[in-house]
């Protein structure tokens, strides 16, 4: 990242704290520091109290089993079912007629499901999965657009005790294949297609090319969304609608051990192979139930809209499990914010009376660029609280969000967390915490974060360091699926006994955390994590490419834009056509989100004498900074030549 730029962006010099209004505070669930005090006094008894808000078919014996760190176990001996906590519990408490889910399609088609209706659908799909011979512990891959069936499928997995692996619908079939192979899923749940900006994107037919390679898949269930045709295979393919038509609408939830796997979610790391982040049920639900309740100050008549896709952790935790375990009304929208018009989101806020809105800084920066008149022409008065997630929010975007979306009266919760953490870790409590634009403020009660130097010592105010978690938390990842060694060395080897987040951060004099972004080779593009190595391996997989180095160049809207420096095989010349082909090639291997914005051809890459590619220098070139010391390079002239060529091309 550009230190200069981000250093300025995240300085708190001119920042005056924003305080919640008296009105907000008077109704807020947390109005003072009681929760912090309680957690400080006894962290484990704090989490035990939070866990007691859920329904357990058998109470836990120990809150935390830390006998084999870092393979921590929470609420051991306890049994619960996630879908029962998200659905049956509320129906039994008289909330059966409350809206659980609001869906709006890109074309404006809508569906609303009450808690009773959602429960019925989930029971039906649970019966379907059982019929398809999915047992407790089996994996199911879900590759779908943002439609209610995706949520039904996830909850049904949790009801029968299957492990879901949701693959973002925008990932390519190739990426889907890798994830199916790794999770050894028995069933693929998908759709015939998705709507995107008025176009139809085929899904089921696109999956055809990889299905013969996925031996574990016994059944494919396809939801009809776009009417896109495909060739069903007898004995393997089923239409969702046919299966649901005669499915049993009663299905008893399977009592699950708190530490039974709940889901795998693949996320990018610093190697070419995505990490299968494994979460288990009990601690995860306690974590997301508690954070949803207090961070979003859940009120019974809220309409909560988190704009993430269910294919990411934000979708898992704060579209589905956090809101539903709280009995909230959660909303999903199938499309993008600027189709058919750039006020589509604000139209939906107005239409459904959204009260709490949670999105990513990259979206906010786009809204800013599109102009104030889009939100101004809509009635946003229902909004009472705003949230931000996925990347650092620059103070300019924060202030715009506050003024133009929150009309100066909504607190903003800037929430820092990760796929690995499962739940929000650093965040304001909106009725309590003075807000500083650009800072995620303080660790959530019961969460112990620190910023340390290279030796693991806490840094003082204003000093940059590495963000770590000093003690385990209930929704933490338990391991990396099939690769416990990678779990150990990725997160627990930098510092003995503490969790390394991969982020850089600093703290101000008031103890607020300011996140500076990744310190490893992971990029944050529009709030999504992309591993540089993943893109590089996709590039070198192309027959013309010899070597590739990928960096994130600071980008006004996206946070980072992917820039690839590529050397070609002997006798092959770089051209605009080849650059376009390589971008397409990466799109096919991973998905459109990983497609490089820029491909720059060079005859050599800057390497140290031991052959390590110096991405830092490439970043300096791309962001037009002075190149520091280049004497350790194998051939210092290479970098000068790249710099000249690159600058000329801009």
Q: Site residues (CB under 6 A) for ligand PRX?
A: 267, 313-314, 389-392, 414-419, 440, 501-503, 515, 517-518, 524, 529
DSSP letters spanning 29-91: S--SSHHHHHHHH-HHHHHHHHHTTS--SB--SEEEE-SSTTS-EEEET-EE-HHIIIIIHHI
Compute the distance between CA of residue 432 and CA of residue 92 in angstroms, rounded to an integer: 33
Please give the distance of CA 284 from its chain centroid, rounded to a whole number. 15
CB of 172 to ligand PRX, least distance (A): 18
Question: Quick one: 78 or 472, whose CB is closer to ligand PRX?
Answer: 472
The arrangement of strands across the sheet holding 499-507 comes to 449-452, 465-469, 499-507, 513-518
Q: Provide CB contacts within 8 A for 260, sequence distance 6+.
A: 136, 137, 161, 280, 281
Question: Quick one: 161 or 390, whose CB is closer to ligand PRX?
Answer: 390
CB of 434 to ligand PRX, least distance (A): 17
- Residue whose CB is nearest to ligand PRX in the complex, by number: 419
CB of 559 to ligand PRX, least distance (A): 9
- Candidates 568, 475, 485; CA nearest to 275 is 485
Q: Provide CB contacts within 8 A for 83, sequence distance 6+.
A: 122, 126, 155, 156, 158, 159, 253
Compute the distance between CA of residue 474 and CA of residue 48 in angstroms, rounded to an integer: 10
CB of 313 to ligand PRX, least distance (A): 5
CB of 364 to ligand PRX, least distance (A): 12
Question: Quick one: 267 or 280, whose CB is closer to ligand PRX?
Answer: 267
CB of 361 to ligand PRX, least distance (A): 8
Question: Quick one: 518 or 595, whose CB is closer to ligand PRX?
Answer: 518
Asked if 304 and 355 touch (Cβ cutoff 8 Å), the reply is yes
Compute the distance between CA of residue 556 and CA of residue 457 in angstroms, rounded to an integer: 34
3-state secondary structure at position 641: helix
Question: Quick one: 254 or 508, whose CB is closer to ligand PRX?
Answer: 508
First CA to last CA distance, the chain: 19
Question: Quick one: 238 or 305, whose CB is closer to ligand PRX?
Answer: 305
Half-sphere exposure of 570 (CA within 13 A, CB side): 0
Question: Quick one: 515 or 545, whose CB is closer to ligand PRX?
Answer: 515
The CA-based angle 217-223-226, given to 5 degrees, is 125
DSSP letters spanning 158-185: HHHTPEEEE--TTB-HHHHHHHHHHHT-
DSSP letters spanning 525-540: ETTEEEEHHHHHHHHH
Question: Quick one: 352 or 401, whose CB is closer to ligand PRX?
Answer: 401
- Candidates 584, 508, 497; CA nearest to 541 is 584
DSSP tag of 357: E
Compute the distance between CA of residue 262 and CA of residue 274 in angstroms, rounded to an integer: 19
CB of 390 to ligand PRX, least distance (A): 5
Angle between helices 115-131 and 148-160 (to 10 degrees): 60
Question: Quick one: 138 or 420, whose CB is closer to ligand PRX?
Answer: 420
3-state secondary structure at position 191: strand
CB of 103 to ligand PRX, least distance (A): 22
CB of 419 to ligand PRX, least distance (A): 3
The β-bridge partners of 542 are: none
CB of 176 to ligand PRX, least distance (A): 18
CB of 392 to ligand PRX, least distance (A): 4
CB of 391 to ligand PRX, least distance (A): 5
Backbone angles phi, psi at 424, to 5 degrees: -65, 135
Question: Quick one: 515 or 564, whose CB is closer to ligand PRX?
Answer: 515
CB of 469 to ligand PRX, least distance (A): 12
Question: Quick one: 193 or 395, whose CB is closer to ligand PRX?
Answer: 395
CB of 270 to ligand PRX, least distance (A): 12
Compute the distance between CA of residue 635 and CA of residue 643 in angstroms, rounded to an integer: 14
Phi-psi region of 326 (alpha: psi -120 to 50; beta: other; left: phi over 0): alpha
Question: Quick one: 53 or 396, whose CB is closer to ligand PRX?
Answer: 396
Compute the distance between CA of residue 413 and CA of residue 392 in angstroms, rounded to an integer: 12
Question: Quick one: 185 or 439, whose CB is closer to ligand PRX?
Answer: 439
Question: Quick one: 405 or 605, whose CB is closer to ligand PRX?
Answer: 405
Tokens of 547: 């070597």
Tokens of 47: 């989490």
């Amino acid at each position: 990242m550009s230190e200069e730029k981000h250093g300025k962006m995240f300085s708190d010099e001119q920042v005056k704290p924003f305080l919640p209004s008296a009105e907000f505070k008077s109704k807020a669930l947390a109005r003072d520091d009681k929760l912090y005090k309680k957690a400080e006094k006894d962290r484990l008894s704090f989490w035990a109290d939070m866990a007691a808000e859920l329904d357990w078919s058998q109470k836990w014996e120990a809150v935390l089993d830390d006998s084999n760190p870092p393979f921590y176990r929470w609420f051991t001996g306890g049994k619960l079912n996630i879908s029962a906590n998200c659905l049956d519990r509320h129906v039994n408490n008289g909330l059966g007629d409350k809206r659980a889910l609001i869906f709006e399609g890109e074309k404006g088609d809508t569906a609303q499901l009450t808690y009773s209706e959602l429960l019925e659908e989930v029971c039906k799909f649970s019966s379907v999965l059982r019929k398809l011979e999915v047992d407790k512990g089996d994996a199911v891959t879900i590759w779908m657009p943002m439609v209610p069936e995706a949520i039904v499928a996830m909850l049904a997995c949790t009801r029968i005790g299957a492990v879901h692996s949701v693959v973002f619908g925008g990932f390519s079939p190739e990426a889907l294949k890798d994830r199916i192979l790794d999770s050894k899923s028995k069933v693929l749940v998908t759709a015939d297609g998705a709507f995107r900006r008025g176009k139809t994107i085929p899904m089921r037919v696109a999956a055809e090319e990889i299905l013969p390679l996925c031996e574990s898949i016994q059944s494919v269930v396809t939801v009809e969304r776009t009417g896109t045709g495909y060739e069903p295979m007898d004995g393997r393919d089923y239409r969702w609608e046919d299966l649901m038509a005669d499915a049993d609408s009663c299905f008893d939830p399977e009592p699950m051990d708190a530490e039974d796997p709940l889901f795998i979610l693949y996320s990018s790391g610093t190697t070419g192979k995505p990490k299968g982040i494994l979460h288990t049920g009990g601690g995860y639900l306690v974590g997301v139930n508690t954070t949803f309740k207090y961070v979003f100050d859940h009120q019974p008549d809220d309409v909560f809209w988190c704009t993430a896709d269910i294919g990411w952790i934000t979708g898992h935790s704060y579209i589905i499990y956090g809101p539903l375990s709280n009995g909230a009304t959660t909303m999903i929208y199938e499309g993008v914010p600027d189709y058919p018009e750039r006020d589509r989101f604000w139209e939906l806020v107005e239409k459904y009376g959204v009260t709490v809105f949670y999105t990513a800084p990259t979206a906010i920066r786009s809204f800013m660029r599109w102009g104030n008149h889009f939100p101004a022409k809509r009635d946003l008065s229902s909004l009472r609280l705003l949230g931000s997630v996925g990347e650092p929010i620059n103070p300019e975007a924060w202030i715009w969000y506050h003024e133009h979306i929150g009309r100066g009266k909504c607190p903003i919760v800037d929430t820092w967390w990760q796929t690995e953490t499962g739940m929000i870790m650093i965040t304001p409590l909106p009725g309590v915490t003075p807000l500083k634009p650009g800072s995620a403020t303080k660790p959530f009660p019961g969460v112990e974060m620190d910023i340390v130097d290279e030796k693991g010592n806490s840094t003082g105010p204003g000093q940059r360091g590495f963000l770590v978690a000093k003690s385990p938390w209930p929704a933490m990842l338990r391991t990396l699926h099939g690769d416990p060694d990678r779990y150990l060395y990725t997160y627990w080897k930098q510092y003995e006994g503490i969790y390394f987040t991969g982020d850089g951060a600093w703290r101000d004099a008031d103890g607020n955390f300011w996140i500076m972004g990744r310190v490893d080779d992971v990029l944050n593009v529009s709030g999504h994590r992309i591993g540089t190595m993943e893109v590089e391996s996709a590039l070198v997989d192309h027959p013309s490419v010899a070597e590739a180095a990928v960096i994130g160049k600071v980008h006004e809207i996206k946070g980072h834009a992917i820039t690839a420096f590529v050397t070609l095989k002997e006798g092959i010349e770089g051209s605009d056509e080849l650059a376009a082909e390589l971008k397409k090639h990466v799109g096919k291997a991973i998905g459109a989100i990983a497609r490089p914005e820029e491909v720059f051809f060079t005859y050599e890459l800057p390497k140290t004498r031991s052959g390590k590619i110096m991405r830092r220098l490439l970043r300096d070139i791309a962001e037009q900074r002075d190149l520091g010391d280049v004497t350790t390079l194998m051939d210092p002239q290479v970098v000068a030549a790249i710099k000249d060529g690159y600058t000329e091309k801009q």
